[in-house]
Amino acid sequence: MAKPVTIQNSSVVFGNHAQKKAAIELLDGELSPQEIRERTGATVAVRNVNLDIKEGELFVIVGLSGSGKSSLIRTLNLLNRPATGKTFVGDRNLLEMSKKELRRYRRNEVSMVFQNFALLTHRTVIRNVQYPLEIQGVSKKEYTERAEEAIRMVGLEGWEHYMPSQLSGGMRQRVGLARALTNDPEVLLMDEPYSALDPLIRREMQNELIKLEDEMDRTIIFITHDMNEAFRLGDRIALMKDAEMVQIGKPDEFFDNPASDYVRNFIADVDKTRILKVRSIMNKPAYIAKQGDRVKDTLEAVKKRELSFTYVTDENRKFLGYVTLDQLKRSRGKTIDRLINEDETVIYRNAFLREAWPKLKEAEYDLPVVDGKGRLRGVLDYDVVVDALAD
Amino acid sequence: MFETLLSGFWESLVEIPEFLEINYEATIQRFVDWFAATFDVIFGAIRDFVRRVIYNLELWLLAIPWFIFVILVFLAGWRLKNLTTGVVLGLMVVYIASSSLWEHTMSTFVIVIFSVIVCFILGLPLGILMSKYRPVEAVLRPILDLMQTLPTFVYLIPALMLLGLGSPAAALSTTIFALPPLIRLTYLGITTVPTEVREAGTAFGSTPIQLLVKVEIPQALKSIAQGINQTTMLAISMVVIATLVGFGGLGEEIYGALASGRRGVGQGFVAGFATVFLAIILDRLIQGVAERFDHSEGGES
């Protein structure tokens, strides 16, 4: 199960004890990080950052090098310990964990993909991938099976017994990703995972990540300095500069309401229609009925929300169709099962807006948005799309 | 008259005053006697133990026919390096066997092996501690620097003083002399593990011991193997000098040759070659092993 991540007033400061103490005093003041460093000798890498990352979200933090984005993501597995604030994963504050709890958290709930892969070069591919489970005392049979599964997921079957030095950069990062998936984490941290790869491979890896992400249920936090990458991948994006958050929002919000000239410059060479994805501007359906629900209950819920129809899914959230308000009013049956209008016109949530447009024009109602497994994930509103493409 | 007075005064200056004439030798001798007498039980036990181990090792090695060594060295050189290396190293063993220095070479070899093993047992943990704890590094570093600047002969004195003449003293001085590179290269190997790799180990929830055993030491193996190689080379050079504390081996032949002046030149060269060949064989084979641990790009395996 994915978990939400909440960062409250978090700051990361580097320096010796006295320097840090002096710098923390100045965090709430007006001085820039540069000035704080000149005065105290401590480096402020992250300053009073607040983030609310939802469960299952693919959240991208973007910024130039030195903006503090890497320092921030590393507070989520405590490779960096924040000097101030709170860091919640689920409902637990990481900063209050004992050593043992922290180790358990790192083993079971979080994992990380590194910029330069950070593979254990003395181990074969499969022995790299099994490492997170091996150190937990999982049986050999189990960790081998799960490592093989992770290797399959990233498309490296057949390479299990090669050494990392025999693989290309893209393949090495696949090993890094597989290793981060073996312990089935709720939160996946990716620290500039594709920055060391050449552009073609990078594009391929991004597409694979989008596909993989679709099949898994986990919160992903992704760091990059590449705005195009950020917009291609992110459900929401946070832009950092000089240790602080400049703007946080869905991709289209950056275009609609850039918070400053800095943001405007940053997104200047991003091609919007190629980058805006259905998922980034879709809304949550106001109500979803389940197969087997009683007509009476459904009617009540739909009326209460002043809707004219509702989508229906099965118990696994798989999209089945819709039921209109009129149907519900007229029905004499007990459950809504026989009323469902099967609807073929759905849109895949990772489609770009360009592809969604023709379908949207045909549709009678707003378009239901589904993931790769056909589960209902949201609804695409005609007006929202028009707005997004307008400027 | 003035002149006589002056020269008399000068002479009194040149002369070292009586109160400065301290008998350091006697003081040191007394300290050493006291030290040796007080800890005689310990050093006696060490002496007897080392002597027995070395004696037995030598007996076993001498019980193995010479051509088995030729075959083993040939095979090891071939597998670890290449066929040419195997052949050349094998021929070197043949030379040693044919030079009637077999027994001398074996006693030298035993001291080297013994010292290197002790160096490994001491040096690996010391190198690891040095890389993990700042204070250990602060203490060890100047000691290691000092050890590498001291003249070789100095190492013989404490060994002689504590263990008396014989193979245990030779083994001790050889061990102390050969220890620094292993400590240094273990330290180097562990401190140069890429930060990201160490962080990956931590990020997946390794305990400090797991990090050391499964990440840091394996990553440092190439460096550690090079340390063993350098330690072995130093040990060979020291064993020759250790002849001075009453130990035989190839060094005895070389000193014998030196003592007989011109007539000893032939004998000196024959024993010298045997020493050099022993060093080359060990060097190549250990390097061959070290290369197995090279997992960097372009490295083997």
Check which CATH number belongs to the domain holding B86 and give it.
Answer: 1.10.3720.10
The answer, yes or no, to whether residue B299 has pLDDT greater than 50, is no
> Under an 8 A CB cutoff, do A106 and B204 touch?
yes
* B269: in domain: yes
pLDDT at B126: 96
Residue A376 CA to residue A314 CA, distance in Å, equals 10
pLDDT at B214: 95
> What residue has token string 């599964």?
A149
pLDDT at B300: 42
The answer, yes or no, to whether residue A187 has pLDDT greater than 90, is yes
Helix (H, G, I), strand (E, B) or coil at B78: helix
Residues 204-223 of B with CB under 8 A from A: 204-207, 210, 214-215, 218-219, 221
Residue A169 CA to residue A201 CA, distance in Å, equals 9
Q: Categorize the per-residue pLDDT at A104 as very low, low, confident or very high, splitting at 50, 70 and 90.
A: very high
User: B-chain residues within 8 Å CB-CB of A115?
Assistant: 196
Residue A268 CA to residue A271 CA, distance in Å, equals 8
Residue A288 CA to residue B284 CA, distance in Å, equals 74
* Residues forming a β-bridge with A237: A60, A249
* Residues forming a β-bridge with A348: A370
Best of A104, A119, A135 to disrupt the B interface (most B CBs within 10 Å) is A135
For chain A, the average pLDDT equals 89
CA distance B94 to chain A (A): 37
User: Of A197-201, B130-134, B279-283, where does mean pLDDT reach its minimum?
Assistant: A197-201
* B272: in domain: yes
pLDDT at B253: 84
User: Of A286-295, B13-22, B101-110, where does mean pLDDT reach its minimum?
Assistant: B13-22
Region of A192 please: left (phi>0), alpha (psi -120 to 50) or beta.
left
* B245: in domain: yes
Higher pLDDT, residue A257 or A12 = A12
The answer, yes or no, to whether residue B208 has pLDDT greater than 90, is yes
Q: Categorize the per-residue pLDDT at B230 as very low, low, confident or very high, splitting at 50, 70 and 90.
A: very high
CA distance B192 to chain A (A): 14
> What residue has token string 């983030």?
A51
pLDDT tens, B151-201?
Answer: 888 888 878 887 888 888 889 889 999 999 999 999 999 999 999 999 999
User: A-chain residues within 8 Å CB-CB of B202?
Assistant: 79, 106
Q: What residues make up the domain containing B257?
A: 28-292
User: B-chain residues within 8 Å CB-CB of A108?
Assistant: 205
Q: A332, A333, A330, A320: which is closest to A291 by C-alpha?
A: A320
pLDDT tens, A257-303?
Answer: 888 998 888 887 776 767 778 887 888 888 999 988 898 889 999 89
pLDDT at A365: 66
Would you say B243 and B169 are in contact if contact means Cβ atoms under 8 Å apart?
A: no
A193 in B contact zone (CB under 8 Å): no
Sheet holding A319-324, edge to edge: A288-290, A309-313, A319-324, A341-342
> Under an 8 A CB cutoff, do B297 and A165 touch?
yes
Closest chain B residue to the Cα of A181, Cα to Cα: B204
Residue A98 phi/psi, 5° resolution? -75, 170
pLDDT at B10: 83
User: A-chain residues within 8 Å CB-CB of B207?
Assistant: 103, 135
The answer, yes or no, to whether residue A315 has pLDDT greater than 50, is yes
User: Of A159-168, A303-312, B204-213, where does mean pLDDT reach its minimum?
Assistant: A303-312
> What residue has token string 């400053």?
A260
CA distance A209 to chain B (A): 20
Helix (H, G, I), strand (E, B) or coil at B260: coil
Residue of A106, A134, A163 lying closest to B301 (CB–CB): A163
User: DSSP character for B54?
Assistant: H
Sheet holding A84-89, edge to edge: A43-53, A5-14, A84-89, A92-93
* Residues forming a β-bridge with A244: A241
Would you say A60 and A53 are in contact if contact means Cβ atoms under 8 Å apart?
A: no
* B9: in domain: no
A111 in B contact zone (CB under 8 Å): yes
What's the 3-state SS for chain A?
Answer: CCCCEEEEEEEEEECCHHHHHHHHHHCCCCCCHHHHHHHHCCEEEEEEEEEEECCCCEEEEECCCCCCHHHHHHHHCCCCCCCEEEEEECCEEHHHCCHHHHHHHHHHCEEEECCCCCCCCCCCHHHHHHHHHHCCCCCHHHHHHHHHHHHHHCCCCCCCCCCHHHCCHHHHHHHHHHHHHCCCCCEEEEECCCCCCCHHHHHHHHHHHHHHHHHCCCEEEEEECCHHHHHHHCCEEEEEECCEEEEEECHHHHHHCCCCHHHHHHCCCCCHHHHCEHHHHCECCCCEEECCCEHHHHHHHHHHCCCCEEEEECCCCEEEEEEEHHHHHHCCCCECHHHCEECCCCEECCCEHHHHHHHHHHCCCCEEEECCCCEEEEEECHHHHHHHHHC
Interface size A-B, in CB pairs within 8 Å, comes to: 73
Most confident of A27-36, A169-178, A361-370: A169-178
pLDDT at B159: 81
Q: Categorize the per-residue pLDDT at B1 as very low, low, confident or very high, splitting at 50, 70 and 90.
A: low
Best of B190, B195, B204 to disrupt the A interface (most A CBs within 10 Å) is B204
User: DSSP character for B301?
Assistant: -
For A390, half-sphere exposure in the C-beta direction (CA atoms, 13 angstrom radius) is 9
* B128: in domain: yes
pLDDT tens, A34-62?
Answer: 899 999 999 999 999 999 999 889 999 99
What is chain B's alpha carbon radius of gyration, rounded to the nearest angstrom?
25
User: A-chain residues within 8 Å CB-CB of B192?
Assistant: none
User: DSSP character for B297?
Assistant: T
Would you say B261 and B54 are in contact if contact means Cβ atoms under 8 Å apart?
A: no
pLDDT at A349: 86
pLDDT at B136: 94
Residue B290 CA to residue B228 CA, distance in Å, equals 9
Q: Report residue B99 as tokens.
A: 């030079």
pTM of structure: 0.78
What is chain A's alpha carbon radius of gyration, rounded to the nearest angstrom?
23
pLDDT at B72: 95
The answer, yes or no, to whether residue A391 has pLDDT greater than 90, is no
Residue A293 CA to residue A299 CA, distance in Å, equals 10
* B10: in domain: no
Domains of chain A by start residue, with CATH? 5-109+185-275 (3.40.50.300), 288-390 (3.10.580.10)
CA A195 to chain centre: 18
CA distance A227 to chain B (A): 25
Query: Which ipTM did the prediction report?
Result: 0.76
CA B188 to chain centre: 19
* B298: in domain: no
pLDDT at B301: 40
- Kindly give, in sequence order, each residue whose CB lies less than 8 Å from that of residue A313, ignoring residues fewer than 6 positions away: A288, A289, A290, A291, A319, A320, A375, A376
pLDDT tens, A65-74?
Answer: 889 999 999 9
pLDDT tens, A252-263?
Answer: 888 888 889 988
pLDDT at A1: 67
Q: Kindly state the average pLDDT of the residues A359-368.
A: 77
Helix (H, G, I), strand (E, B) or coil at B116: helix
Q: Report residue B90 as tokens.
A: 């094998």
> Under an 8 A CB cutoff, do A135 and B210 touch?
yes
Q: How many percent of chain A have pLDDT more than 70?
A: 98
pLDDT tens, A236-247?
Answer: 999 999 999 999
User: DSSP character for B216?
Assistant: I
> Under an 8 A CB cutoff, do B203 and A163 touch?
no
Higher pLDDT, residue B187 or B251 = B187
> What residue has token string 């922290």?
A102
CA torsion, ordered A7, A11, A15, A21, to nearest 10 deg: -120
Q: Based on the structure, what is the number of domains in chain B?
A: 1
